[in-house]
Amino acid sequence: MDLAELLQQSPYHRWLGVRLERADADSVGIRLPYRAEFAGGAFIHGGIIASLADIAGCFAVIAAVGRDVPTLNVRVDYLRPAPAGSDLIGVGRTVRVGRTMGVADVTVSTEGGVLVAVARGDFPTGGASA
């Protein structure tokens, strides 16, 4: 499965401009290039950060199972504001991938390595994919 191609199939992902930076069997790195409309002043909006966390977690599980999966739940903990002007990097790592459910942990950092959020997502792996 070509993860970079799958990432670009979603119109929302294309609008965000996310790019696959790296992938292996249990983790992915996804870059979100900064755009001015992501910020409401000095900081990037939390919804943009949550979107990146969701995508990175989902694609970590996709890399493990070899097919698209939907998101069941994502919890995001914001640790500090993400400064406007910085690209963000989401790194998703599978915690467990079973027959019916996958779990992934995500870190979201600035391109300079400042950790701005952590997340955990649940992704159904059994049955039909969405």
Residue 26 has what pLDDT? Answer: 87
**For the chain, percent of residues with pLDDT exceeding 70:** 97
Residue 121 has what pLDDT? Answer: 98
Does the pLDDT of residue 129 top 50, yes or no? no
Higher pLDDT, 130 or 1: 1
- For 120, other C-beta atoms within 10 Å of its C-beta total 16
Q: Classify domain 3-124 by CATH number.
A: 3.10.129.10
CA count, 13 A, side-chain hemisphere, 65: 27
Give tens-digit pLDDT for 9-26.
999 999 999 999 999 988
Residue 34 has what pLDDT? Answer: 98
- Round to whole Å and give the CA distance between 54 and 18: 12
Distant-in-sequence, close-in-space partners of 74: CB < 8 Å, separation ≥ 6: 50, 53, 54, 57, 119, 120, 121, 122
Residue 128 has what pLDDT? Answer: 52
Residue 127 has what pLDDT? Answer: 62
Residue 1 has what pLDDT? Answer: 74
- Round to whole Å and give the CA distance between 37 and 65: 34
Backbone angles phi, psi at 7, to 5 degrees: -60, -35
The predicted model gives 83-105 an average pLDDT of 97
Q: Which two tokens stand for residue 56?
A: 């990175």
